[in-house]
Structures are given as structure tokens and as C-alpha cells.
Amino acid sequence: MLNTVRALRGMATSPHHLATEAGLRVLREGGNAVEATVAMAAALAVVYPHMTAIGGDGFWLIGRPGEAPVGVEACGRAAAAATPGLYARAGLDAIPQRGPLAANTVAATVAGWGEALRLSAEHGGTLPLSRLIEDAAWHAENGFPVTVSQNELTAEKRPELVDAPGFADSFLVHGAAPAVGSVMKLPALGRTLRRLGVAGTRDFYRGALAREIAHDLALAGSPVALADLEACAARRVAPLSVALPGVRLFNFPPPTQGLSSLMILALFSRLGVSEAEGFAHLHGLIEATKQAFLVRDRIVGDPDAMSENPADWLTDAALDTLAARIDRQTALPWPAPPSAGDTVWLGAIDGNGLAASFIQSIYFEFGSGVVLPQTGIVWQNRGASFQLRGSGPRVLAPGRKPFHTLNPAMASFEDGRHMVYGTMGGEGQPQTQAALFSRYALFGQELQAAITAPRWLLGRTWGAETVTLKLEDRFPPALVAALRAAGHDVEMLPAFTSTMGHAGAIVRHADGRLEGANDPRSDGAAAGF
């Protein structure tokens, strides 16, 4: 992808072209950005099953130009039976990353769809959920072509997923990964989507569908029970924000790492870097990332258990102090613990300027691996991020929210531009946001060029165990050498590797022009009309 997509009446972007088409169809029919995003989210749960599912969590930013956006938090809490004692009795000193005991939190993304659609109605949205799930249900019932990333990740992760209840029957063919281009059907999931379209999102938590979900979770050995589902609710929240020269950035509050995304760009803006793609640009953002992650890892978790206000770290005084700690020439040693994750970011802006930035996740690829037989739902393993010992906001307790790497982003420019952007990629999410935003907004690159350009990742994603500074091999050798000389532990990766995430962005100009871009590292597309 080399050229930015442009249109006037509406724009959608997602990491799978069939999902983007589903969103664009909604926009063409007069639906708004929120409705289009729900259609894309439902479609991605079918055609990109290794990356997302309706058995996960989701976070929204929804707003118009010149207005502060509204956040919708759809974060499932730990089950009442999910206690450190549960794992001790199972002979475990850590929560497993796969299987029924990893499926220990409620999946809240469907509740988030419901709350987002209620907010959509306040902006004139009228399309019923039954219409919004049409494409998703059709693909589940009639089939969709398997992507390269689904094939590769299924084969790579098969050993740790094959024994999870229901996984092999749903996602393996004769015990192996499905071939690229082969047609996969998910009929049980298709029936579930159709039921949600008729009964509404509430049925997932308090209706006949909820009872089937609870039955299958119990049968698999998950601690999540019907009472946990019934207690689940999405809520509206105020986003965090920070001002940079000429633009205000918005991101999601805890339990997500949105704070770190804002801090990285705010710290970098204080370094006075005047040119993109050189040592000062990359080194500055990498060192800003370290300072932001040190704060994130110390304070962020379940908001009710946090002892510090994240907004305090976005004040000028706090940011000035942290920026002063950044050495412009030498890398800070980096042994910090990493976080993994698999996710999708998607967004839309309609012709009236309403914008949606949404991120939906099951944590690791295929989540816990548990597939519920009656409903075809893949359940997340987000609760594997809880700790079983110690104190603080990330220690497991019934009803506690897990730490999330998810963080949808939005920006409002003084010149009237309005931007939604984001990516999947766990630890890499705030770093990729910083890369694409700085290239586009601070250094004037074309939107698509800012996403296509080579990227970096400090830490890990997709389950890699190293905490190196990973660079795509398209960076100039002299820049790589300069980073190594500064003390960065550099590891080279292939060009356009999915390790760097699947990013996307849409910008609306003050005159109504829309620009969209999507990541060539994904199977996605940006499309407008």
C-alpha cells in the first residue's frame, strides 16, 4: 500500500478487507460511523478469528470534530470463582495462558456494542443490530477464505491450542492448520450472531444465549458462571487527553495502557526533534516509550485498585520531569517485563463527521483456545495477565478488571482535522501509534506513507520472549548502527512483519475531505465513497 485513500461521504478501515467492506456497506446505506464499526467488528470476529472474537473485550472512542469524545469501556471482570486459591488447588503458581483456567473473565465486547449503539442513536443512528451483523453471519454460514496470517498462526500456535476444548473441531482441518485460501465455515457462530441480531446484545448476558454460554463454560472447566455474565455491563467513561502544539490527543483510561500512548508523544514533543526517520526521531520515541512504560507498569491496572491518578502523569510538570530524564544520545538499559497480545483496531468516520475508534481483543491469538460448542464463541484469555501473588492493581481478585494493552486513539487538530488511529500488537500498540502519528502529524508525511514506513518495537508482542529493540530490515544500515552504538539491543526482523502490528487511520479535514490508510502488514483495507 503506497497511496492514501480519499473520499468525501464516508471512510472505513480494518485489518481485513471483507470487514472493511461490511462497514462501507453500512455507510453507503446511511448508517453512521458507530454502526459501520459494529458491522466491521462482527465481521472480523468471523473472518479474522485468530485475532478477535465476540468472546473478548472492547474499547471505544466516539466523537465529532471540536468535541471531546466519549469512551465506552467494555472490559469483563474476573469471575467470582477466579481466586488465587482456585489456581493453588490446581497446583499452579501462575495463571495458564491457554485452556479453561485462562478463560477466567467475562467477555464484555458485545455489551460494548450495545452501549455504543445507544450512543449512536443519540447521533441519529437507526440501523438495527440485525442489519449490522448481516455480513458477519453470511461469512460464518457460507464460508470465508483463510488468510496467510490465520494459516501461519494456527500452525505456529497449534501445540498450545490443540487440547483446548473445542479448538481442533473449529479451527483445524484433519488436525492441521487450514490451507491458505481454503474456505472455512463457522455455522454455530453464524447462528449466534443471527440470534444477537434478533434478541439484542442483552441476550449474551441475561437471556437464553447467556444460559448456553454459561453451560458450555462450566462444561469446559472455566470459572465464569451465569451470575458473572449477568453482572456484566459496559459503561461510558471520560477519556484521558493531553495537548501537543496544534493538536489534542485522546486515549483510553485504565485498565488500558492508553496513558502510555499519550505520554510517549507528549514526552517526544518536548525533545524538539525537527526531522523524521533519523536517529533523533527513533531514539527519542524509544526512550520516551521507556519512561512511559515505567509509569504504566507501576500504576496501571484495575482502576478501583489503583493508588495514583493517571491524569497526574499528563500534567506539564510531570511530563517535563520525565522528559528531562531522557538521554538524547544513550539508551536507558531495558530489562522491563513485556506484555503480549493479539487484537484488532478498526475505525470509521461518516459524512457528518461522527468518528469511531474501536479496538477489540481476545488477548493472545485465539484467546484461551476454548470454543463453546453451542454458540461457536472463542473465549478470551485476558485474565492470564493477572498476577497470583503480591499486591497492587494487577493481582487477581473476584470482580477485578484485568490490565489491557488495548487503547483506541483519537486526535483533534486546531486546523479542524479530526483523526482516529490505532493498531493491534500488545506492547507495540502505543509505539506504533507514536510512529504513525509523529510521521503524519509532526513531520508531514502522507497518511499511508506514515503507516507503510518501517517500524520498530521495544519489547515483545505475539508471544515472543525477548525484550530487544526490534527493527524491520528496511531501515538504513547507518541508522541501525547508530542505534546499536547508543546502547540499544537491536534485533532485525523481516520487512513488513506482522510483529509490528496492523495499524490503520482515518483523517477528516475541516472541509469534509476524508483520508484513510491501512497496514500492508495486515489483510485489511481502507475504503471510502
For 296, the grid coordinates are 504504566
φ, ψ dihedrals at 432, nearest 5°: -70, -40
CB atoms within 10 A of CB 360: 30
Q: Which three cell numbers stand for residue 371?
A: 470454543
Neighbours of 389 (CB within 10 A): 9
Buried b (16+ CB within 10 A) or exposed e, 331-357: bbebebebbbbbbbbbbbbbbebbbbb
343 is an active site residue: yes
Tell me, what amino acid is at 404?
H
Q: Are 216 and 55 in contact (CB under 8 A)?
A: no
Question: In terms of C-beta distances under 8 Å and separation of at least 24 residues, what long-range contacts does 159-163 make, across chains too?
Answer: 160/97, 160/98, 160/369, 161/98, 161/366, 161/369, 163/99
Helix axes 477-485, 279-299, angle to 10 degrees: 50
Query: Which H/E stretch holds residue 6?
Result: strand 5-7
Q: End-to-end CA distance of the chain, in Å?
A: 18
**Joined grid coordinates for residue 172:** 483445524
Nearest to 6 by CA among 521, 451, 448: 448
- Residue 250's DSSP bridge partners are 241, 410
The active-site residue out of 4, 20, 343, 423 is: 343
Q: How far apart are CA 427 and CA 425, in angstroms?
A: 6
DSSP E strands: which ranges in 327-486?
342-350, 355-363, 409-413, 418-423, 456-458, 469-472
Q: Which residue has the cell 510521521?
A: 439
Q: Is 348 left (phi over 0), alpha (psi -120 to 50) or beta?
A: beta
What is the DSSP annotation of 147-174?
Answer: PHHHHHHHHHHHHHHTTSTTHHHHH-BT
Measured distance CA(361)–CA(74) in Å, rounded: 11
Read out DSSP for 440-481?
A: IIIT---HHHHHHS--EEES--TT----SEEEETTS-HHHHH
Burial tier of 191 (Cβ tally within 10 Å: 0-12, 13-18, 19+)? middle
For the chain, the helix, strand and coil percentages under 3-state DSSP, each to the nearest 5 = 40, 20, 40
Q: What is the dihedral of CA 423, 40, 494, 427, to 10 degrees?
A: 30
* Residues known to be catalytic: 343
